[in-house]
Amino acid sequence: MKILTLVRQVPDAEARIKINGQSVDLEGTTLVIDGMDEYGVEEALRLREGGANVEEIVALAVGPKKVEDALRTALAMGVDRAIHVETNERYDAVALSRIVAQVAGAEGSDLILLGGQEADWDSQALGAASAERLGWPQLTWTNELSADGDTLTGRHDVDDGNEGFKVALPAVVTAQQGLNEPRYPTLPNIMKAKKKELRKDEPSTYSVQPSVKYVNAEIQTRARLNKMIDGKDPQAAAEQLLDLLRNEAKVLA
């Protein structure tokens, strides 16, 4: 089995984010693997360590040069090699799925593992779009996964709980929190990762043009009313609070 894992890059949750005008300035900000994608990378490694017949694990990233750092982290975690489609173009999920599908086909992948959504984009479309292009089944929001030969079994979340599944490879699986606990790369593995293959591909190789153009972004601002409620009379305070919530904040009917 050959596994393709997708790696996207987002700001570290603990990083200090700079605001430049009305935009987020990521220059100098610590960037890390998107947490959802990291679960996918970890699960690919665990499938191999658990005895599944995993021939190779390849990490794929599409983005600017700095995305190379995320791929190096994946290599240090244990991925065998990496492919970086280096571009400053922002691809929407449907456009990005064209690249994912082409790479999966060229690499002879049997399983694609990626995050259920991206932390800074909140898109849940990439897994479904990639599966549709390849004509493969897709399992979403997976919280348990195992492989036996060419069959995957596991569980995934649904609205009223979770349900078990069994599916024959090839397939696309999206990961989420709870699937596993990603490992930290050790120093020896970080050093070994420097010798692993990190292939650079030109975006023109895939002849993909984004259909959605990024225009701009604005920081959400929230005004405070700064109203104080006198709590000496609890009954009156409760009535005043309800009045404010109903008539000024308009969060109650």
pLDDT single digits (tens) 14-43: 877 777 776 777 777 888 999 999 999 999
pTM: predicted TM-score of the whole model, two decimal places: 0.83
Task: Tell me how far apart the alpha carbons of residues 30 and 15 are, in angstroms, rounded to a whole number.
Answer: 6
pLDDT single digits (tens) 219-235: 676 667 778 888 889 99
Within 8 A by CB and 6+ apart from 154, the residues are 139, 142, 143, 144, 145, 146, 164, 165, 173
The secondary structure of residue 25, as a DSSP letter, is E
